[in-house]
């Protein structure tokens, strides 16, 4: 075997090896292939082999999901990355940031409401209906 062919064999992984290298399950790789986020390689000597570089792409997909990007958005990001369209990538990230900030505002409002209800419950007499149950059973008119 030549040095060149030995190197290319070392740069190739089975699906199980790729899954371990990327920290995901084999079914995750297959799912990403069905979603066209990963290529489906040609069969070589009865086995599909994958370039080691795909592990980095899989880690990117998982990290993007953790940041709240949908798989459709991730596919779009990957396509834009191939075109080196940084402006469009930045726009998508800006949209995600706007959504995150909106969710944070909602969570702060929920935190404030729950804190007030817990305080009201602690201060309520034993005979009165629990303010938490009452508030949840009778939502305010602005909801």
Residues 11-38: tens digit of each pLDDT: 889 999 999 999 999 999 999 999 999 9
Contact present, 48 and 41 (Cβ < 8 Å): yes
pLDDT tens-place string over residues 52-96: 999 999 999 999 999 999 999 999 999 999 999 999 999 999 999
CB 50 within 8 A of CB 18: yes
The model's pTM is: 0.71
């Amino acid at each position: 075997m030549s040095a060149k062919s030995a190197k290319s064999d070392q740069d190739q992984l089975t699906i199980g090896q790729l899954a371990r290298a990327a920290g995901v399950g084999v079914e995750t790789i297959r799912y990403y292939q069905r979603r066209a986020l990963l290529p489906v390689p040609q069969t070589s000597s009865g086995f599909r082999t994958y370039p080691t570089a795909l592990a980095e792409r899989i880690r990117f997909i998982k990290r993007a999901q953790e940041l709240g990007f949908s798989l459709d958005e991730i596919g779009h990001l990957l396509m834009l990355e191939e075109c080196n369209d940084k402006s469009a990538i930045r726009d998508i990230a800006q949209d995600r940031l706007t959504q995150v900030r909106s969710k944070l505002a909602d969570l702060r409002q929920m935190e404030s409401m729950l804190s007030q209800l817990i305080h009201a419950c602690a201060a309520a007499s034993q005979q009165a209906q629990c303010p938490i149950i009452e508030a949840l059973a009778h939502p305010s008119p602005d909801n």
